[in-house]
Structure 1
Amino acid sequence: MASLIEDYALLSDLRTGALVSESGSVDWLCFPRFDSDAAFTALLGDSEHGRWLLAPEGAVDDCEPQHPARRSERRRAARAAGEEDPLQGEAEPDPAAEGRPVVVQRTYVDSTFVLRTLWKTPDGQALVTDFMPVGDRRASIVRRVEGLAGSVRMHQEISFRFGDGAVVPWVRRHEDQKSGDTSIVAVAGPDAVVLHGDRLPQGHDHRHIGDFIVSAGEAVDFELCWFPSHRHVPARIDAGASLQETVSYWKNWSKDIPQQESYHAVVKRSLLVLRALTHEATGGIVAAPTTSLPEDFCGERNWDYRFCWLRDAALTLEAMMTHGYEKEALNWRDWLLRAVAGDPDDLQIMYGVGGERRLPERNLDHLPGYEGSLPVRAGNGAVDQYQGDVVGEVLVALEKLRNMGGVEDHFSWPLQKKLLGYVEEHIDDKDHGIWEMRGDQKHFTHSRVMMWAAFDRGVRAVREHQLDGDAARWEELRDRLREEIMEHGYSEKEGTFTQTYDDAEVDASLLVIAQVGFIEYDDPKMLGTVARLERDLMDDAGLLLRYRTSSGKDGLSGAEHPFLACSFWLVEQYARSGRIDDARKLMDQLVGYSNGLGLLAEEYDTVDGRMAGNFPQAFSHLTLIRAADAINGHGQRAI
């Protein structure tokens, strides 16, 4: 079974991403794009659904009762039955004491996504380096094993699969006529992969297995490369040269990140994550590289995040622009122009990595789900939702780009005017809100505020940047929305903004109201809203839920864990309203939930102390950056 979510490392080639467990198993990899069908799908099933294990012999046994995910499963089952914690007083297993291989160190090389795992066994030490080559447009993953001391017997097991783990390919040996090298080729339909390597495994019952010994001073290389099945088998890569090029790329990209007084390391890693989730060719930014990692373990809140949400991408670009990445912002603007080109009425909240519009949701019934969480979904039905806030987020980000010196061209500003026309046309419509409620449409206060922000940015574009447009009309609509929001989206009785019009419920998206300048961070109305959020949505560990799932408004069964972005928003609110000590305290707590590589999932289970939801999540990392910026420059408005 899969490892705990936080036990995974991300590899990226700026086109797709892989997840490698601490035990050395590549359990998730979509070839050749983030939103392609998965080739390794063990994350949502088991080894039969595709994976690539490379670790010292005896290091892994997924079925043992002490496996971390199984321990968590035992705890949940006991709570459901009203029993005491079955692991109370039970000591954690100590592989070293049992003479089994252990991970001594696991880290990225400097500011890169080149992963190094140092293994220690009773007979020696070995270093495994995993990376995805960047810049050569080659869809592959490289794994290098180096002997550091003594001799280590390594175990390799690879299950070739396509079609999200459903398709077992035809596998054959291939000999390169020029080099004489032998490799393994797997083919099914349009997809093919080739495994190059010094010590190739042997076929056995729909998988390939092999052991080899690496001694001090030796290096053994493997590369798994995807290619269209109608093309020639790609030749073997120069692993050493590719490693140097990949390390150089990531270091050069991150070298100009400004030094911050506090939280510099986590901000730097978060910016790197946002870059890693950006497709270098199209400019599209995915919300996460995974699908169906559950928000509610064993429940139905499992979604596909391998697409480009306009909202998430706009917020990502805001965070990156704040730290000087104007080029990435311009690339995303070009992606936006292509994706939404056409009739503005056809605007979607999300698109494929290349701007694709059709993202139908379907269930992958052959997969058992992460820890039994069903259904496993491919595609996202929310693509058909109307969410009134989206244009506001886009226009706020594009205004920031203008303020940085980004020049509007013959297409970009006309498109923004069309988007403002879209907002005006839908100004009275109810929507599904930022959280993509699958219940009835409402007038969500956050959505209405973001519509206000859209018109506000239109007015400022004309009056501050001398662009053409009907500023008077947009100002009229902006002011109308303000009056409406204050009448229906704010409760004088409760002293708080509300989740939807004429309702007493609150949700964490109300923290965005001050971020876009609708109201000051320290306005009594905002402070009253914060107090209500702390009272109604804060869990025992001090983290914010998005909203009360018990209200039944989202149309789903079950509950969820605290959404990390909401608590990072609260950090920002604290810092900008003068509660700097509270901001630092909560920030330190949230940063402490990162795994050892600085990665964050969508949510955090504060009861079992583990991550939940898709991983790594752009929204968590971009709000971490905003929160750190607020602490480092508290009192300054970040709009």
Structure 2
Amino acid sequence: MSTTPIADHALLSDCHSSALVSRDGSVEWLTFPRFDSPSVMARLLDDDRGGHWAITPVGAYETTRRYLDATMVLETTFTTDSGTVVLTDALAMGPDEQGHSLGRSVPHLLVRDLTCTAGAVEVQVSYAPRPEYGLVVPLLSEVPGGVTARGGAEWLVLTTPVRLDLAASVGTGRARVEAGQTLRFALHRTTLEQTPAHVWSDDDLRETLDRTIAGWRSWSQLHQAYDGPWKELVHASGRVLKALTFAPSGAVVAAATTSLPEGVGGERNWDYRYSWVRDASFTMEALWVAACPDEADDFFAFMCTAAASGVGADQALQIMFGVGGEHDLSERTLDHLAGWRDSRPVRVGNGAWNQQQVDVYGELLGAASRLTDQLRHLDADTRAFLGALADAAAVRWREPDQGIWEVRGDPQHFLYSKVMCWVALDRAIAMAGLIGDESRVESWRRTRDEIAETVLRDGWSDTAGAFTQYIGTDALDASNLMLPIVGFLPARDPRVLATIEAIDERLTDHRGLVYRYRTEDGVDGLAGEEGTFLLCTFWLAQALAMADRVDRAREVFESAVRYVNDVGLLAEEIDPATGELLGNFPQAFSHIGLVNAAWAIHEAEDRLLGTQDHVGDTPVPPQRAAAKDGGTRVGGRH
């Protein structure tokens, strides 16, 4: 099993696939050619069988890391008694002339440059590719300038200036590097049907890395104009969301990994390398603030295309898709892998794909409502699809479901699901002219009001002094922090304030972090416990800011960002006992929550100072305010 802390990893991405690199210079996770492809290296999930590629000084060393400015190119500095070496890692890609097409076409190439900046350092290389989640132990063969790996559907060529000894499908070697010397490595993937991968020249690798750095910087300059509180964290989170985007389709994956647990040694281990409809509105909001218009447009277009399959009152909207729009995400376990810290089972696929979750209608229509400026010329199919979503919400809101947290226990009448059906109808009413059918508005309005009456009457518990998880319980759920965020009730409504206070007092741990709900209530149908949930903590900060409780909002926000790792990444949860990151990594939801909470606090501070700018009733980030009267629009897809 792997015991390396989750926080010790950094993400690489070419907007097709991902890699995680440890502080020790080891590639512990790598998928080619897509995020959801079988891994080529997965030591993250099994030390012995998973596979890795490490470049590390021999003997004792100290490590510092950073992403190169405005990029997702990782720089790791190893300091030893004899000298210093810098390892620069990237999944290769480059921009078009305007920088808009970052990641559209990539070589499926992992580049690693090792430069000695002082003294001399002996380094060791260990290379053990293990395709198909470690099921394949490939044949390694030496070729001039590198090593080939054949096995299964993969053809891998390692470019290496260090000669490796090959034994038991592992390559190992050592080299001494001196000040001013650079060793360039690369791993290239292709399929057996294509022209075999080749060893790369030194000049080509240098140019490829330079293009990748330039591509990220060009994208950041064009798309990241946010200038509010926690600017660097917001920009870093925007780059993470870009890095979790599958550029060919626009899909944003929930995380780069599978089966990193929500509780050490437990069964709450899921595959998050897919794209959820639920994430749509949250992502739209975050990309709007982080000023990433192209990505937001692409994501919405992907969702509409993937989901548009006869949705209506008699056919549910699927809740998640593969990054290419695939519907069947059947779940299976990989019993040969030990799991991170012996957390089993290791799963691929996700059984939630065919769950009933009625909140998704509101989330997708909420995403559309953020894009009304960009959706002026919808085709007839998309207009009909959006109308069908509202019609489905108008019927399905009465049904129990698995809810936002995808519980594997009995369906319930979750309050959040009801509220999001309200959102679906509310947004459809506002967009009726855009959708092109105003004849249903009155019917939608009646159902919207009926949902609101039900939630207000049956969703409130005098015993709990708050809105509750589902109708008929007194249990709390942090998803009810969304009531003011989606506009169901004002943030300063006494019932909302009471719910915020109840969650702040009773779902928050000693670190100031928020649980989704109390697992001992048993609603999720799973054994064991889980950590505090970073998205929910950011929701609390956001709701507090909307209620003008800015000082407390800042405290909660700071409690969460304290757990950002040394290169700005967050997982899904925090272990309440140890403070370690838990869950899949990096987690889009956590970074989305960070961006949206930071903006809400910025908005609240401006509001209290009387300086907030608006277009109509919508608050406008400062970088967009100058554009609202006809100037150059900066990053608005929301």
Global fold match (TM > 0.5): yes
Q: CA deviation at 1:206?
A: 2.3
From 163, 183, 186, the equivalent of 1:223 is: 186
Q: Which residue of 2 aligns with 1:337?
A: 304
From 495, 510, 521, the equivalent of 2:465 is: 495
Q: CA deviation at 1:404?
A: 5.5
Q: CA deviation at 1:407?
A: 4.0
Describe the SS at the equivalent of 1:504: coil
**Separation (CA, whole Å) in 2 of partners of 1:340 and 1:20:** 34
Aligned residues of 1:56 and 1:154 also touching (Cα < 8 A): yes
Q: CA deviation at 1:151?
A: 1.5
Look up the equivalent residue of 1:119 and give its one-letter code. F
Structure 1 residue 359 and structure 2 residue 359: aligned?
Answer: no
Residues 315-370 of structure 1 deviation map (CA, whole Å, 9 limit, x = unaligned): 11221023432222221122123212322125211110101111111110000110
Q: Which residue of 1 aligns with 2:622?
A: none
Describe the SS at the equivalent of 1:211: strand
Aligned residues of 2:511 and 2:559 also touching (Cα < 8 A): no
**Structure 2 matches for 1:366-515, cutoff 5 A?**
366-403=336-373, 407-462=377-432, 468=438, 470-515=440-485
**Separation (CA, whole Å) in 2 of partners of 1:160 and 1:463:** 55
Q: CA deviation at 1:406?
A: 5.7
Structure 1 residue 547 and structure 2 residue 517: aligned?
Answer: yes
Structure 1 residue 39 and structure 2 residue 40: aligned?
Answer: yes
Q: CA deviation at 1:295?
A: 0.6
Aligned residues of 2:285 and 2:596 also touching (Cα < 8 A): no
**Separation (CA, whole Å) in 2 of partners of 1:418 and 1:616:** 34
Aligned residues of 1:145 and 1:219 also touching (Cα < 8 A): yes
Aligned residues of 1:159 and 1:206 also touching (Cα < 8 A): yes
**Separation (CA, whole Å) in 1 of partners of 2:591 and 2:108:** 25
Describe the SS at the equivalent of 1:370: coil
Describe the SS at the equivalent of 2:124: strand
Q: Which residue of 2 aligns with 1:193?
A: 156
Structure 1 residue 241 and structure 2 residue 195: aligned?
Answer: no
Describe the SS at the equivalent of 1:342: coil
CA separation of 1:590 and 1:326: change in aligned 2, threshold 3 A: same
Q: Which residue of 2 aligns with 1:66?
A: none
Structure 1 residue 531 and structure 2 residue 490: aligned?
Answer: no
**Separation (CA, whole Å) in 2 of partners of 1:249 and 1:300:** 40
Look up the equivalent residue of 1:46 and give its one-letter code. D
From 132, 135, 138, the equivalent of 2:107 is: 138
Look up the equivalent residue of 1:24 and give its one-letter code. G
From 118, 125, 136, the equivalent of 2:77 is: 118
Structure 1 residue 253 and structure 2 residue 219: aligned?
Answer: yes
Aligned residues of 1:574 and 1:583 also touching (Cα < 8 A): yes
Q: Which residue of 2 aligns with 1:22?
A: 23
Describe the SS at the equivalent of 1:371: coil
From 300, 304, 314, the equivalent of 2:267 is: 300
CA separation of 1:299 and 1:494: change in aligned 2, threshold 3 A: closer
Look up the equivalent residue of 2:24 and give its one-letter code. S
**Separation (CA, whole Å) in 2 of partners of 1:119 and 1:278:** 31
Describe the SS at the equivalent of 2:54: strand
Aligned residues of 2:16 and 2:245 also touching (Cα < 8 A): yes
From 114, 130, 138, the equivalent of 1:161 is: 130
**Separation (CA, whole Å) in 1 of partners of 2:298 and 2:439:** 25
Describe the SS at the equivalent of 2:44: helix
Moved more, 132-141 or 503-512: 132-141
**Separation (CA, whole Å) in 1 of partners of 2:429 and 2:227:** 33
Aligned residues of 1:188 and 1:229 also touching (Cα < 8 A): no
Q: CA deviation at 1:534?
A: 2.2
Aligned residues of 1:29 and 1:40 also touching (Cα < 8 A): yes
Look up the equivalent residue of 2:270 and give its one-letter code. W
Aligned residues of 1:267 and 1:624 also touching (Cα < 8 A): yes
Aligned residues of 2:139 and 2:169 also touching (Cα < 8 A): no
Structure 1 residue 171 and structure 2 residue 140: aligned?
Answer: yes
Q: CA deviation at 1:314?
A: 3.3
Moved more, 317-326 or 41-50: 317-326
Aligned residues of 2:258 and 2:272 also touching (Cα < 8 A): yes
Q: CA deviation at 1:582?
A: 0.7
**Separation (CA, whole Å) in 1 of partners of 2:379 and 2:435:** 13
Look up the equivalent residue of 1:387 and give its one-letter code. Q
**Structure 2 matches for 1:18-97, cutoff 5 A?**
18-58=19-59
**Separation (CA, whole Å) in 2 of partners of 1:493 and 1:459:** 35
TM-score norm. by structure 1 comes to 0.90
Look up the equivalent residue of 1:140 and give its one-letter code. L
**Separation (CA, whole Å) in 1 of partners of 2:66 and 2:568:** 10
Moved more, 11-20 or 532-541: 532-541
Aligned residues of 1:151 and 1:215 also touching (Cα < 8 A): yes
Describe the SS at the equivalent of 1:129: strand
**Separation (CA, whole Å) in 1 of partners of 2:482 and 2:434:** 24
Residue ranges of structure 2 left out of the alignment (5+ in a row): 95-104, 613-617, 620-637
Q: Which residue of 2 aligns with 1:263?
A: 230
Q: CA deviation at 1:124?
A: 1.4
Q: CA deviation at 1:535?
A: 2.8
Q: Which residue of 2 aligns with 1:623?
A: 593
Look up the equivalent residue of 1:193 and give its one-letter code. L
Residues 15-74 of structure 1 deviation map (CA, whole Å, 9 limit, x = unaligned): 01100000111001111100000110100110432000111113xxxxxxxxxxxxxxxx
Q: CA deviation at 1:465?
A: 8.1
Residues 130-186 of structure 1 deviation map (CA, whole Å, 9 limit, x = unaligned): 001124421121111111122111100011111101211122234xxxxxx433111
Look up the equivalent residue of 1:600 and give its one-letter code. L
Q: CA deviation at 1:381?
A: 0.8
Identity %: 39
Q: Which residue of 2 aligns with 1:348?
A: 318
**Separation (CA, whole Å) in 2 of partners of 1:285 and 1:165:** 26
TM-score norm. by structure 2 comes to 0.90
Residue ranges of structure 1 left out of the alignment (5+ in a row): 59-99, 175-180
CA separation of 1:374 and 1:493: change in aligned 2, threshold 3 A: closer
**Separation (CA, whole Å) in 2 of partners of 1:233 and 1:6:** 36
Aligned residues of 2:478 and 2:516 also touching (Cα < 8 A): yes
Residues 201-229 of structure 1 deviation map (CA, whole Å, 9 limit, x = unaligned): 22022211011111111111111011112
Q: Which residue of 2 aligns with 1:5?
A: 6
Q: Which residue of 1 aligns with 2:626?
A: none
Q: Which residue of 2 aligns with 1:563?
A: 533
Q: Which residue of 2 aligns with 1:107?
A: 66
From 165, 172, 183, the equivalent of 1:202 is: 165
From 285, 288, 295, the equivalent of 2:252 is: 285
Q: What stretches of structure 1 move > 3 A for 4+ residues in a row?
A: 403-407, 463-469, 492-495, 635-639
CA separation of 1:564 and 1:332: change in aligned 2, threshold 3 A: same
**Separation (CA, whole Å) in 2 of partners of 1:453 and 1:313:** 14
Structure 1 residue 151 and structure 2 residue 151: aligned?
Answer: no
CA separation of 1:415 and 1:276: change in aligned 2, threshold 3 A: same
Q: CA deviation at 1:125?
A: 1.2
Aligned residues of 1:286 and 1:313 also touching (Cα < 8 A): no
Q: CA deviation at 1:451?
A: 0.2
**Separation (CA, whole Å) in 2 of partners of 1:324 and 1:152:** 42
Describe the SS at the equivalent of 2:36: coil
